[in-house]
Amino acid sequence: MSAPAAERGTFGQRARAYAVHVYTASGVALAFWAAAETCGAAPDARLVFALFIASVVIDASDGPLARAWQVKRRAPAIDGRIIDDIVDYLTYTFLPLLLVWRMGWVPAPAALWIVPALVASLFGFANAGAKDEAGGFFRGFPSYWNVAAFYAGIVHRYWGAWPNAVMLLALAVLTVAPVRFLYPNLAPRPWRLPLIVGAIAWTAVVVALLRLDYPRSPGWLVLLSLVYPAFYTTLSAYLARRGPRAGAQLQAP
């Protein structure tokens, strides 16, 4: 049963809360645009990845807005988590993997490599314990298939399709494996700020790679772009080994 209107705040507060839901849902417009480009006669992977970046910006910012504006209290009739999960599955998983198939970045038959990733991510999104928000972790590889697809284009350009097949299968296994990856927005202190700043810097490098004739990208810039993913993965493994108590201690001011 929802709270009385008086307990949900003023009209302006409720309108602002519902505006956050609309903001989250706007990611589906980007998803549609990316799908239309991917399925076109001559898809431009750079445009599709630019749309994925825009969707990540929405996904990274709607959570803090929802918490700051008390969306669960002010607009309880709409479950923002469901909207978020649907848009995320489209923009983080389904469309990036569709692009990998459309561009021919994996060997035939593509379904042999794409479908396991799609199914594994479905289980990941449906897992009630997929997000440990208190500890600041995701359980399993957090379906960053947009990132995997981005590097798949570069890998295919220099080494062909088979390394991508191995990468997709390995990440599909990690998606349902009992491993943990940091949730940047909720990561334990003092690592939250370096993770967020690093993600912003990494995004800038990715944009530069897209502008510089992607996927024929300069090797030195590709290597530079890998610094942050390596840092993120290594730090995730290190903090996960320390366990939830260590994470809770780091969260304390």
Tens of pLDDT, residues 133-181:
777 899 999 999 999 999 999 999 999 999 999 999 999 999 999 999 9
Stated as kind and residue range, the H or E segment containing 139 is: strand 137-139
78 and 49 in a single domain? The answer is: yes
Tens of pLDDT, residues 205-222:
999 999 988 999 899 999
For residue 247, the model assigns a pLDDT of 47
First to last CA, the chain: 36
Residues whose CB falls within 8 Å of the CB of residue 65, separated by 6 or more in sequence, listed in order: 20, 23, 71
26 and 110 in a single domain? The answer is: no
From start to end of 144-209, where are the E strands? 180-182
95 and 162 in a single domain? The answer is: no
Helix ranges (DSSP H) in 39-159: 45-68, 71-74, 80-88, 95-102, 111-126, 145-159
Q: Evaluate whether 139 touches 105 at the Cβ level (below 8 Å).
A: no
118 and 205 in a single domain? The answer is: yes
pTM: 0.88
Domain boundary among 103, 120, 135: 103
Confidence of residue 131 (pLDDT cuts 50, 70, 90): confident
- In angstroms, the CA 101 to CA 108 distance is 9
Residue 140, sorted as left (phi over 0), alpha (psi -120 to 50) or beta, turns out to be left
- In angstroms, the CA 127 to CA 131 distance is 8
Mean model confidence pLDDT for the chain: 90
73 and 168 in a single domain? The answer is: no
Average pLDDT over residues 96-116: 96
Domain boundary among 103, 119, 149: 103
Q: How far is residue 186 from each of residues 51, 137, 183, 235, measured CA to CA in Å?
A: 24, 8, 5, 14
Tell me which of 222 and 129 has the higher pLDDT: 222
- In angstroms, the CA 76 to CA 27 distance is 20
- In angstroms, the CA 26 to CA 19 distance is 10
Average pLDDT over residues 18-36: 96
Q: How far is residue 37 from each of residues 21, 152, 178, 188, measured CA to CA in Å?
A: 26, 18, 36, 38
- Domain containing 238 equals 104-253
Q: Evaluate whether 188 touches 245 at the Cβ level (below 8 Å).
A: no
Residue 199 has, within 13 A of its CA and on its CB side, a CA count of 17
Domain boundary among 103, 132, 160: 103
* 251 pLDDT above the threshold of 50: no
User: Measured on CA atoms in the order 95, 101, 120, 232, is the torsion positive or negative?
Assistant: negative
145 and 248 in a single domain? The answer is: yes
121 and 44 in a single domain? The answer is: no
| Number of domain units in the chain | 2
Residues whose CB falls within 8 Å of the CB of residue 141, separated by 6 or more in sequence, listed in order: 124, 171, 174, 175, 177, 179, 181
128 and 54 in a single domain? The answer is: no
User: Measured on CA atoms in the order 237, 240, 246, 248, is the torsion positive or negative?
Assistant: positive
